[in-house]
Structure 1
Amino acid sequence: MDPDSVEGVRASGGDGPEDAIGPDGRVPHGSSDDPDVLDFSANTNPRVPPGAEKAYRAAFEAARSYPADDYPEFREAAAAFVDCEPSQVIPTAGGLEAIRLAIQTTARAGDSVLLPYPSFGEYAREVRLQGATPEFVPHDELLAADPASHALAVVCNPNNPTGEAADPAALRNFADRCRAAGTTLLVDEAFLGFTDEPSLAGREGVVVARSLTKLFGLPGIRMGYAVGTGDERDRLATARRAWSMSAAAAAVGAHCYRQTEFVAETKARVERERARMRERLNARFDVFRSDAPFLLLSVSDADASVDDILASAREAGIAFRDARTFRGLDSHIRVAVRAPEENDLLLDALDV
């Protein structure tokens, strides 16, 4: 990472107000640390797999020593979940570290990187920290873009904050075109586990970034990994920090990926609740189609301002995500799909 680029991001605050990079060079994220607030701003599962706490506690003794740096048990469990080879799995402390590792090992100063918008703000930040330049394309047009002049292209699948999953055939066609052009494709699959869509993990020329924290409701443990093949995999493995995942994260992650019944129940609940919420919310908002555990709402000026909605929800003890921090969105909020009884509280607070 170029120190001058770091200073540039910190000093400039990104490419205008749409980047929403603060004076410390960081981008906003969902989640509230107020224990008295029902948090609909973060998209993590409100339920955790059975036995997760026991697995976490059982890892205490192992945590007194350095973990085995090859993480065989975690790699095998992750590979089985996404259908790739264990050797292709590169463990990281969360999905964000996997994204950073992929960008650091691909983009050089002066390179161009193809990015979707509106989408996760960290992509542009990580690209700029490398001294590279983001080129933004509407998220629903990116798969038709020409990757030839870019060192890297990034796809968020399903896209955050809009929620749409990419068309599988179009995504694979884009991956083939990226490979033919010599452009690495980074696919952020943080929310793909909530769908029945297959992963691109193990596909040549593609780096997949995965996070367990969304699907299994354990963001504080920091469980994630990248998947690569060939030269991409070798660069990831070379640049990865030693002991890049804690013993507790590796143990809990391996346990979670074996909970097939929990995963199936979670996907069914999210699909059912998302449809129910969307039907109710459509009475007041324009609601984006979503395949993810969240919904993006467009707020009409005739109804109320985003600030008014956020404030009234806060008075009711509920936190939403102010989606105006995403590039290209100026009157939007994003809400998570949580447990049915919690979703009822949200719908009542929004008077729908």
Structure 2
Amino acid sequence: MEPDAVRAAARVPHGGTTDSSVLDFSANTNPERPAGVDAVYVDALDASTRYPDDSYPDFRAAAADYVDCDPASVVPTAGGLEALRLAFEITLEPGDSALVPEPSFGEYAREVGLQGSTPVRVAHDELLDADPADHEIAVVCTPNNPTGELADPTRLREFAARCRDAGTVLVADEAFLDFTDASSLAGESGVIVARSLTKMFGLPGIRAGFAVAPGDLGDRLAVARRSWSLSTPAAAVGAHCMRDTEFVSRTRERVESERERLRQSLSASFSVSPSDAPFLLVDVGDRDVQSVVETALERGVAIRDATTFRTLDSHVRVAVKRPAENDQLCRALADV
């Protein structure tokens, strides 16, 4: 990390609220979690009087099964964002450049900048057509946050091949991919995949995730990873969650059904973008975004002010939750 870049940097706004009295649609996390998590956590807490096994064999095996890759290429991290930072740390030097999508997750440009490198912003729906040559890395978010669309699998793999040919590392943020039936890029040569367990399993406070890369990239990630990068409870709960394939299937079905129902309901008053993710991007038109956010909050619902994403100036983002909760969101946004 480049010290002068750190001095010039700032924090990036995120969704989520600490106010437990409101219904939180500002963070895209599952309102449900797999059965048995509590017991797994308690058992792991009892084992936390010792350092965890830094090789994390059980967690890595579960992650490898989850994304269909070699366990040796899995690098445990404290959440998806740590996987992204690790990817940037081992690939970027001061003066390098990185292709990043916009609008998209604001941490990409921030993390690139912290390495003393330059983020080169490309429209999220044009990035797969961009020339990766002369850039050290290219970042793809699929499904993209906050717009919600899944990258076309064929075009994405073609872009990965062009990156390999150009000597450019492709960093694929798949934080929301498990809400779709699309295959992961995990194990692809020249690609670093970042995965988060926060969203699907509804446990943002656990801080569990992982990176995947084969060959030299994977070796460098493994060396650079902080020792004991996952707490014992995080590793145990993460492995337990990833093995609950029924929970994942049920969640996908609910999100797909409720997302469409919510989209149709909100479309009566707003312009709502199609989405493959557990959230919807809503254009509130000529309404004042801050007033919309504040009105919803007064009615007991927190939504994300999406104008904090570059290029968006009239949008909010809302998560997709369970039927009764989604109905409450629609009531909170009625007549705003």
Match in the other structure for 1:56: 41
SS in 1 for 2:91: coil
* Equivalent residues in 2 for 1:261-300, closer than 5 Å: 261-300=246-285
Secondary structure at the residue paired with 1:44?
Answer: coil
Matched AA of 2:83: A
The equivalent position to 2:297 in structure 1, one of 293, 310, 314, is 314
Residue 5 of structure 2 aligns with an amino acid whose one-letter code is S
Are the aligned partners of 2:300 and 2:332 in contact in 1 as well (CA < 8 Å)?
no
Question: 2: CA distance between counterparts of 1:102 and 1:343?
Answer: 36
User: Equivalent residue for 2:97?
Assistant: 112
Where 2:132 maps in the other structure, the secondary structure is coil
Q: Is 2:187 the counterpart of 1:209?
A: no
Write the letter of the residue equivalent to 2:2. Answer: D
2:312 paired residue number: 329
Deviation at 1:197, TM superposition (A): 0.3
Write the distance in 2 (CA, Å) between the matches of 1:166 and 1:152. Answer: 18
Gaps of at least 5 residues in structure 2 are none
Preserved CA contact (<8 Å) 2:73 2:212? yes
RMSD, aligned α-carbons? 0.7
Deviation at 1:4, TM superposition (A): 1.2
Q: Distance in 2 between matches of 1:246 and 1:188?
A: 23
Offset at 1:231? 1.4
CA drift at 1:129: 0.4
Partners of 1:234 and 1:4 lie apart in 2 by 28
CA distance in 1, matches of 2:229, 2:215: 21
Question: CA offsets per residue over residues 233-286 of structure 1, 9 Å max, x none?
Answer: 111011001101111011001100111111100000000000000011111111
For residues 305 and 278 of structure 1, the distance between their equivalents in structure 2, rounded to whole angstroms, comes to: 21
How far off its partner does 1:351 sit?
1.7
One-letter identity of the residue aligned with 2:12: V
**Correspondence for 2:79:** 94
| CA contact 2:193–2:213 (8 Å) conserved in 1 | yes
**TM-score, normalisation: structure 1:** 0.94
Secondary structure, aligned partner of 1:60: helix
Counterpart of 1:220 in 2: which secondary structure? coil
For 1:248, the aligned partner's letter is P
2 CA distance for matches of 1:300 and 1:254? 43
Shift of 1:349: 1.3
Query: d(CA) in 1 for partners of 2:125 and 2:208?
Result: 29
- Does the CA contact (< 8 Å) of 2:75 and 2:212 recur in 1? yes
Map Cα deviations across residues 81-112 of structure 1 (whole Å, 9 max, x no partner). 10000010000000010000001111110001
Between the aligned partners of 1:305 and 1:322, the Cα distance in structure 2 is 11
Give the percent of matched residue pairs that are identical in Structure 1 and Structure 2: 63
Unaligned runs of 5+ in 1: 10-24
1:344 maps to 2:323: no
Amino acid at match of 2:18: D
Partner amino acid for 1:305? D
- Aligned pairs (5 A) from 1:1-352: 1-9=1-9, 25-301=10-286, 304-351=287-334
Q: Give the structure-2-normalised TM-score.
A: 0.99
Deviations 1:183-202 (A, max 9, x none): 00000000001000000000
- Residue 305 of structure 1 deviates from its aligned partner by 1.4
Partners in 1 of 2:215 and 2:62 — Cα distance?
21
| Contact 2:142-2:174 at 8 Å conserved across structures | yes
Please state how far the C-alpha of 1:8 moved relative to its aligned partner.
2.2
Letter in structure 1 aligned against 2:127: L
Aligned equivalent of 1:15: none
- Provide the rounded CA distance (Å) in 2 between the counterparts of 1:66 and 1:95: 22
Q: Name the CA distance, whole Å, in 1 between partners of 2:47 and 2:276.
A: 38
The residue aligned with 1:12 is: none
Q: Deviations over 1:177-223 (max 9, x none)?
A: 00010000000000001000000000000000000110000000001
